[in-house]
Amino acid sequence: MKKLSTILLFLLLGLYTLSSAPVELSCSAQTITAYQGEKILLNLKVKNNLNENLRPADQYFLSYHLYDRKGNLISFNNRRFILPVIIKKKHFSRFTLPIYFDYDRSGQYRVEFDLVKEGEFWGAARGWKTCRFQLDLKELISPEFKNRYLRTFYSTNIPILNKEQYVLRITLKNCEIIKNNRIWGFSTGSLYPQIWIRDTSTFIAYAKHQYPLKIFQKMVELFFEHQQDNGEIADWIDISGKSDKNTVSSDQESSMVMAAHEIAIEQPLWLKKKIRGKTITERLEMALAWVWKNRRNPKWNLIYSGLTADWGDVDNSYPDQRATKISDRSTLVFSTYTQAKYLQAMEKLLAIFSHLKKYQKVDIWKKRHRIIRKQTLKHLYLKDRGYFIIHICPTSDRHLNIEKEILAIGGNAEAILAGLMSPKQIRKFLGILKQKRKAYRLPNICFTLLPPYPKGFFPHPALSIPWHYQNGGQWDWIGAKLVKAMFLSNFRQEAKAYLLEIASKNIANFGIFEWEDRGGNPLWSSMFYVGAAGVIGDAILNGYFGYKSDFDHYRLDQTDDHYRLSIHKKDQFTITRNKGTTIDIQQLRKKFILFKQKFGGKTIRLNKKGTHKLDGLD
């Protein structure tokens, strides 16, 4: 009997050993309902029975296989999600993973989550345990989603453009940060839990038409609450109240002013609100005055920053996080991007002072604006090449030859938005851009540096490889700024073509990544990049539709066809164009709208109670 018991024990131990897979994956979800592209937080547990760690740096990702309701395989190889932690050997980890589904057909499915070592093997093929759940995938581009979430909506005769607004809106939704059952702010993307002022300044112009303005007021006020007594602005703030700054950049204060301006033109009285004893107007001037005093070289009269990849915030000093801070290893430069952003911010501050009738302040900042503009044109524009150089170094020309050959999309887009290029110069710039795109066989204008810096120029591993991250990767955030600049400069045909290239990519992904490499792979990029969604939306409303707003009125200045415009509510108007284009814009609070008709240059003033058809004005 004792012998039999021993045999049974060994058998049970053997069965236990056999049942224990090398790696075991389990998820708590039984059923998930989501729109295409909608962020879902999936709770996972990974048990590692191997004698080695499973490291994200070793190209371990999570992905899934998709089956129909009957269990028939539909798609084996799908979207990758970054493994967020190291799974230590002989140990297990629990974590929450943000995921989404980009399958182009809605319906009910079975999902099997699996670990994959990129380019080598899937875990299931090696006997690793997977996990499964049911998926009810709802159609994103649908009347249901439109009625529920698209507070501002447009319809054109271009299907791609119509679909893009759904992707923009789901990206905003995916980045909502909820605190006490309310929207506290918007994260930059799936890898950035904080709110960043650089990104916030670029998405408010579009997002304020989809959400109550108070949300953005409170976000911007948080940065005022964290503002230093000398005027300096933080880079980011998280939900716990922590903040920090990547000091190699010098555009945070400029971004602060531009973000606040988007709110102020809707609610001017907000400028008088006091935060820590000073009005918002005073704090905006403090921010730009800090840059003037602490980041301006008085000999050159230009704003300096670290040597980064154009608009980036990692310099070429250290191979780790220290590269985000100015240090004794930093090379100080004057970049086109920094000057152009500062010029735009000064223009917004001038508009605020003019509205408040602070004419003495207007005189001071107009003079400073003229100085920076003059010096930027003198030292940074390469007349022989037809574009602005990334940056120049006042103490050395060691990198000058490299940087003269690089066409920087971000800096030049901001230069156009700052009014630093004439139409003739813009046309030349576009010709050079076309040549470089063809030479490098690039599918869109979102690749930020043409060509990138050579391999190893930046010690930091994120930038050391060309066409990766800030070193020439493709960023919709930057490409869409050029689209907007082209629309506003009346290069509408080029702008429209660029816009449709970007929108087509987004629709195929049911989402917008922070960046992608030359092959279109997001690698360790953040999903749901809200800054890009905001700039694209702004390029459509402000650029394609020609919608503008200031302290006193709304304008529709750039049109391709006749419009029919009707104002039917105190907070909303609808524009309908002859060729079937319509747009509903909400949150209007102005007294009247000025509409400058392209044919004949007539200006029509409408109050909110009136309706006016604009057909046949030519």
Cβ-based neighbours of 353, under 8 Å, separated by 6 or more: 281, 359, 361, 362, 365
Residue range 134-164, pLDDT digits in tens: 999 999 999 999 999 998 888 888 999 999 9
Give the mean pLDDT of 35-44: 96
Q: Please give the pLDDT value at position 343.
A: 98
Residue with the bigger pLDDT between 587 and 108: it is 108
Over residues 463-518, the pLDDT tens digits come to: 999 999 999 999 999 999 999 999 999 999 999 999 999 999 999 999 999 999 99
Q: What is the mean pLDDT of the chain?
A: 90
pLDDT score, position 594: 62
Q: Looking at domain 22-139, does it have CATH number 2.60.40.10?
A: yes
How confident is residue 549, by pLDDT bands cut at 50, 70 and 90?
Answer: confident
Model confidence at 598, pLDDT cuts 50, 70, 90, reads very low
State mean pLDDT over 61-67: 97
Confidence of residue 616 (pLDDT cuts 50, 70, 90): very low
- 71-130 pLDDT, tens per residue? 999 999 999 999 999 999 999 999 999 999 999 999 999 999 999 999 999 999 999 999
Mean pLDDT across 572-579: 64
Query: If DSSP states are collapsed to H, E and C, what string results for 86-153?
Result: CECCCEEEEEEEEECCCCCCCEEEEEEEEEEECCCEEHHHHCCECEEEEEEEECCCCHHHHHHHCCCE
Query: Percent helix, strand, coil in the chain (nearest 5)?
Result: 35, 25, 40
pLDDT at 601: 44
User: Where in the chain do CATH 2.60.40.10 domains reside?
Assistant: 22-139
* Mean pLDDT within 529-543: 95
Q: Is the pLDDT confidence value at 252 over 60?
A: yes
High-pLDDT (> 90) share of the chain, %: 81
pLDDT for 618: 32
Confidence of residue 545 (pLDDT cuts 50, 70, 90): confident
The pLDDT of residue 155 is 85
Nearest 5 degrees, angle CA 558-CA 563-CA 569? 105
Question: Are 114 and 130 within 8 A, CB to CB?
Answer: yes
What is the model's pTM? 0.91
- Of 89-98, 256-265, 565-574, minimum mean pLDDT range: 565-574
The strands making up 302-306's β-sheet, listed across from edge to edge, are: 296-297, 302-306, 332-335, 391-392
